[in-house]
């Protein structure tokens, strides 16, 4: 009986530790060290996030994507998968703003 209680205790402790290891990091509340603890965010990116946040907290993922250079839909998805949130929300693919239309390239005239 003692070994089953011990096994259950170890299982519960392991579950608690694993959930703490993947604690979400909210971009509006985190300091530089907390931001850099998210895989994919280094010193340069954390500085850009903190500078953009000085003007106003991020409303949502679209706001973050619009205001922070280097974060697009793909990067947002990766950062969210690593535990970054915006106001507690994870990034949901398909909610990003449409890409801005780029001007069509002109064809070079053919030489005769």
**Domains recognised in the chain with CATH numbers:** 19-85 (1.10.150.320)
Give pTM, 2 decimals: 0.66
Report the chain's mean pLDDT, rounded to a whole number.
Answer: 78
Asked whether 65 and 97 are in contact (CB, 8 A), the reply is: yes
pLDDT tens digits, residue range 15-31?
A: 443 444 457 999 999 99
Phi then psi dihedrals of residue 17, to 5 deg: -65, -40
User: What confidence tier does 59 reach under pLDDT thresholds 50, 70, 90?
Assistant: very high
pLDDT reported for residue 64: 97
Secondary structure, 3-state, the chain: CHHHHHHHHHHHHHHHHHHHHCCCEECCCCCHHHHHCCCCCCHHHHHHHHHHHHHCCCCCHHHHHHHCCCCCHHHHHHHHHCCEEECCECCCCCCCCCCCCCCCCCCCCCCC
Residue 16 in tokens: 């608690």
**Residue 108, CA atoms < 13 Å, CB-side half-sphere:** 3
């Amino acid at each position: 009986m003692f070994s089953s209680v011990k096994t259950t205790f170890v299982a519960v402790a392991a579950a608690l530790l694993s959930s703490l290891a993947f604690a979400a990091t909210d971009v509006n509340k985190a300091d530089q060290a907390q931001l850099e603890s998210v895989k994919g965010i280094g010193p340069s990116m954390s500085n850009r996030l903190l500078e953009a946040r000085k003007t106003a907290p991020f409303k949502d993922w679209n706001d973050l994507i619009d205001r922070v250079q280097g974060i697009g839909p793909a990067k947002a998805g990766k950062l969210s998968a690593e535990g970054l949130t915006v106001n507690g929300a994870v990034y949901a693919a398909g909610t990003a703003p449409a890409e801005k239309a780029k001007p069509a390239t002109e064809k070079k005239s053919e030489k005769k």
